[in-house]
């Protein structure tokens, strides 16, 4: 009997890309599409590449100086994923994490010396927020190890994946899932060694992004009936909390947001895969959303790939994993597959 080769699978849960029907039809997809980390200008035109094509998993983040990218790369040998960094000027890549743990969605510290990541030990434990020191190259250190016992126990009840690191280096924002799965967002205070809910209500909220001066956050909330980008003041004391008026800046749905390095623009991804720009004028005035370009392919909202984009410090280029003109791996259909076992 012929064996199917190179099936995409996820090691921690042993899930893979095949399905069977009750009437004896089996379908599977072999091969993971290699994607490129490409730079796009404000019209969506690809204007450069950062690193070589690889099976990128969707998570990409730029360092604050725009010189390095942290990306999640799928490992076909283990079915897991790890963090790699890429020097965008020289194209040199460096592997930062290793199996058997699965690592994903890295965000940079302001000085570029550390990465906050979600680290999964096995299928029974969801991602845990951890910090990796790039200078020492040691294993990621779980945030929970430095928290009070009751807070550490609470964090163990759900996934912890980072979304941003505050400009002063004190706070790491993280939430509990991907897209429509997320219910709440929290803040880890590295100075006081505490973790507290920041967005925790009956409405799913996620994707915290600190403004460049740290005085505000942008985030996604479904309070209006669909996910939209909101901005509100962030106050660090006595405990991290939101203050003042909340302003909705997106229209017609949005689910991912980034700030320009000078704070004068917000960029968000709509549910229709269109990237929008919103001007920001002090103290808190927002222009109308302006569509820049549509990212090719089906909407990434709600997809398991955890697609992300990031923006260069000057706001003129965007980096994201794209397949370009490469077709996805084909589906193979096998009829009456059970009969093959009786031959």
In sequence order, what DSSP letters do the residues of 55-106 get, joined into one string? -EEEEEEE-TTSSEEEEEEEETTTTEEEEEEEETTT--EEE---TTSEEEEE
In sequence order, what DSSP letters do the residues of 153-176 get, joined into one string? HHHTTS--EEEEE-TTSSEEEEES
Give the residue extent of every domain in the chain.
34-327
Dump pLDDT digits (tens) for 81-111: 899 999 998 888 999 998 877 888 999 999 9
Work out the pLDDT band at 340, boundaries 50, 70, 90.
low
3-state secondary structure of 339: helix
Token pair, residue 340, equals 């093959």
Dump pLDDT digits (tens) for 173-208: 998 876 556 678 999 999 999 999 998 778 888 999
Dump pLDDT digits (tens) for 307-325: 899 999 999 999 998 865 5
Q: Each residue of 51-79: b (16+ CB within 10 Å) or e?
A: bebbbbbbbbbbbbebebbbbbbbbeebb
Phi then psi for residue 147, to 5 deg, are -95, 160
Work out the pLDDT band at 2, boundaries 50, 70, 90.
low
Dump pLDDT digits (tens) for 253-279: 999 999 999 999 999 999 989 999 999
Q: In this structure, how many other beta carbons lie within 10 angstroms of the beta carbon of residue 165?
A: 26
Q: Is pLDDT above 90 for 124? A: no
Dump pLDDT digits (tens) for 34-67: 788 899 999 999 999 988 888 877 889 999 999 9
Q: Which residues, 6+ apart, have CB-to-CB distance to 157 below 8 Å? A: none
Q: Are 6 and 17 in contact (CB under 8 A)?
A: no
Strand partners, 248: 230
Q: What is the pTM of this model?
A: 0.87
Top-confidence residue, 325 or 20: 20
Q: Which fold has domain 34-327?
A: Neuraminidase (2.120.10)
Q: How many residues does the chain have?
A: 343
Top-confidence residue, 333 or 280: 280
Q: Are 137 and 72 in contact (CB under 8 A)?
A: no
């Amino acid at each position: 009997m012929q064996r199917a080769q190179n099936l995409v699978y996820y090691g921690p849960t042993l899930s893979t890309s095949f399905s069977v029907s009750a009437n004896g039809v089996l379908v599977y997809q072999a091969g993971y599409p290699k994607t490129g980390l490409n730079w796009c200008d404000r019209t969506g035109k690809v204007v450069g590449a950062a690193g070589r094509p690889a099976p990128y998993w969707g998570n990409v983040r730029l360092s604050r100086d725009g010189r390095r990218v942290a990306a999640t790369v799928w490992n076909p040998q283990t079915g897991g994923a790890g963090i790699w960094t890429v020097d965008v000027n020289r194209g040199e890549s460096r592997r930062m994490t290793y199996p058997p743990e699965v690592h994903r969605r890295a965000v940079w510290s302001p000085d570029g010396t550390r990465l906050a990541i979600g680290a999964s030990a096995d299928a029974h434990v969801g991602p845990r927020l951890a910090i990796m020191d790039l200078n020492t190259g040691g294993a990621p250190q779980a945030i929970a190890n430095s928290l009070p016992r009751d807070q550490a126990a609470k964090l163990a009840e759900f996934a912890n994946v980072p979304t941003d690191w505050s400009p002063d280096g004190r706070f790491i924002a993280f939430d509990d899932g991907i897209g429509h799965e997320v219910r709440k967002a929290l803040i880890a205070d590295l100075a006081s060694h505490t973790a507290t809910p920041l967005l925790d209500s009956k409405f799913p909220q996620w994707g915290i992004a600190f403004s460049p001066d740290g005085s505000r956050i942008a985030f996604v909330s479904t309070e209006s009936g669909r996910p939209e980008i909101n901005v509100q003041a962030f106050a660090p004391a006595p405990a991290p909390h939101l203050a003042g008026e909340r302003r909705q800046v997106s229209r017609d749905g949005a689910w991912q947001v980034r700030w320009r390095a000078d704070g004068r623009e917000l960029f968000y991804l709509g549910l229709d895969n269109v990237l929008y720009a919103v001007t920001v004028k002090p103290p808190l005035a927002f222009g109308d959303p302006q569509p820049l370009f549509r990212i090719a392919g089906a909407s990434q909202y709600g997809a398991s790939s955890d697609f992300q984009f990031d923006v260069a410090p000057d706001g003129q280029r965007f980096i994201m994993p794209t397949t370009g003109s490469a077709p996805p791996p084909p589906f193979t259909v096998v009829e009456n597959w059970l009969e093959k076992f009786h031959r």
